[in-house]
């Protein structure tokens, strides 16, 4: 299994091109199931999660081809299977995104229940309750959820008990082909949901309220193909902004937009980082002094993303004073804490909060990645630490960061992949 070795202490400097957003690309790929015409997606990132979704869609009968390295053509002329098997779902929870489109187009779906994961239990009950409210029958058997709506789905009003990103995406896709009007209340407002809604409208869907917490969908009989450009990855942009910040370097994040990371940018600025909007993207400059501790609470968009919480914690480990980091989205997303502590960080967990008392220096150590964002927080810590950090289980990183080692190496980081 690959490892990543980092010799820390060098400020990173240069340009990093931000890739297309993983969490936008995955639902957009699933949306190809909604039409018998080809969907062309441009700006697709090269990631193992994208490969997993490609494998799943291929099994369902979708022909997936790359016209160019980042241009993916998905053609679901015929649905060959309506089953998302355990083998793929357990590798990637986002596989559940085929549920809504399959039921809407084929009248049924059989999807393995994803089970828990490194960051929490992560049930899919809202996805199922929403489909049930639209007239589907749901049966749980053999670890699979079997959803049937042979006569099609019917529009309804569904209120999410708490905000769910993929839950909103699944029901949005299902509602696009349902009979009549669907109202999704307390819907997610994440830019990835907006991107999906815009693509669905380009495919002939009738969605209004895009970007608000109430989505109104007038169902249509059929959708058609289109070409859609995937938005840039705000989590990747936030991560590299923090890489510049933690090493005291300067990086131009090409293709990054302030509107996608408003709170992160504001909090980085408060901590002492300079962020300037340029024509090509965002120019991030670390502080010549130690950063200041700033408290953070994760929240649905436009709040501070849970997917940047671990990275923020690495940053705050080296700040002056203390920072209170509260995780409100997932119940178990502090797996990086013991690893950061092995590198000399001073962090105590109290329930859903972590109190980070900044230390002047971290020290390199062998550490273990537990999930995608936890792994990258260890990369950030390694970039700033004295000595060498070796991170094992880096397959987590390859799920969501395109060419991370190459991108950082091009900015002067001493980072190597050990095969």
User: Interface with ligand EPU by CB under 6 A: which residues?
Assistant: 23, 26, 94, 120, 122-127, 162, 164-167, 192, 306-307, 329-330, 372-373, 400
Residue among 125 and 276 whose Cβ is closer to ligand EPU: 125
Residue among 123 and 211 whose Cβ is closer to ligand EPU: 123
Q: How far is the CB of 395 from ligand EPU (least distance, A)?
A: 14
Active site residue 117: yes
CA separation (Å) from 207 to 113, 154, 198, 211, 217?
Answer: 29, 15, 8, 11, 4
Residue among 26 and 39 whose Cβ is closer to ligand EPU: 26
Q: At what angle do helices 125-133 and 165-176 cross, to 10 degrees?
A: 20
Q: How far is the CB of 255 from ligand EPU (least distance, A)?
A: 18
Residue among 20 and 249 whose Cβ is closer to ligand EPU: 20
Q: How far is the CB of 248 from ligand EPU (least distance, A)?
A: 27
Residue among 20 and 167 whose Cβ is closer to ligand EPU: 167
Q: How far is the CB of 360 from ligand EPU (least distance, A)?
A: 30
Residue among 44 and 385 whose Cβ is closer to ligand EPU: 44
Backbone angles phi, psi at 392, to 5 degrees: -100, 170
Q: How far is the CB of 34 from ligand EPU (least distance, A)?
A: 18
CA-based R_g, the chain, Å: 21
Q: How far is the CB of 153 from ligand EPU (least distance, A)?
A: 18
Cα(123)–Cα(104) distance, integer angstroms: 21
Residues involved in catalysis: 117
């Amino acid at each position: 299994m690959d490892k990543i070795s980092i010799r820390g202490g060098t400020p990173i400097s240069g340009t990093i091109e931000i890739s297309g957003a993983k969490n936008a690309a995955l639902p957009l790929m699933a949306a190809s199931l909604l039409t018998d015409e080809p969907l062309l997606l441009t700006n697709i990132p090269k990631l193992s999660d994208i490969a997993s979704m490609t494998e799943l869609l291929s099994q369902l009968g979708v022909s997936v081809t790359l016209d160019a390295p980042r241009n993916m053509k998905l053609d679901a002329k015929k649905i060959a299977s309506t089953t998302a098997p355990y083998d793929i779902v357990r590798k990637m929870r986002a596989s559940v995104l085929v549920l809504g489109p399959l039921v809407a187009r084929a009248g049924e779906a059989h999807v393995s229940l994803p089970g828990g994961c490194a960051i929490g239990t992560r049930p899919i009950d809202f996805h199922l309750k929403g489909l049930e409210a639209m007239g589907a029958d749901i049966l749980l058997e053999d670890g699979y959820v079997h959803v049937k709506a042979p006569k099609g789905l019917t529009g309804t009003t569904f209120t999410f008990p708490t905000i769910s990103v993929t839950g909103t995406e699944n029901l949005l896709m299902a509602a696009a082909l349902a009979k009549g009007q669907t109202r999704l209340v307390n819907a997610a407002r994440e830019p990835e949901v907006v991107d999906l809604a815009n693509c669905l409208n380009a495919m002939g869907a009738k969605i209004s309220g895009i970007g608000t917490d109430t989505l109104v969908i007038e169902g249509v009989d059929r959708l058609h193909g289109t070409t859609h450009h995937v938005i840039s990855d705000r989590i990747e942009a936030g991560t590299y902004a923090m890489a510049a910040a933690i090493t005291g370097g300067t990086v131009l994040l090409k293709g990054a937009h302030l509107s996608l990371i408003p709170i992160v940018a504001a909090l980085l600025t408060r901590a002492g980082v300079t962020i300037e909007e340029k024509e090509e993207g965002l120019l991030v400059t670390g502080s010549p002094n130690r950063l200041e501790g700033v408290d953070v609470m994760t929240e649905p968009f436009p709040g501070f993303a849970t997917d940047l919480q671990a990275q923020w914690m690495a940053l705050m480990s080296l700040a002056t004073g203390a920072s209170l980091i509260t995780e409100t989205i997932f119940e178990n997303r502090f797996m990086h804490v013991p690893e950061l502590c092995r590198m000399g960080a001073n962090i105590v967990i109290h329930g859903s909060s972590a109190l980070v008392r900044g230390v002047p220096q971290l020290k390199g150590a062998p550490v273990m990645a537990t999930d995608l964002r936890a792994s990258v927080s260890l990369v950030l810590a390694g970039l700033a630490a004295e000595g060498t950090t070796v991170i094992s289980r880096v397959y987590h990183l390859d799920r969501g960061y395109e060419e991370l080692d190459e991108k950082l190496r091009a900015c002067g980081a001493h980072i190597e992949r050990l095969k």
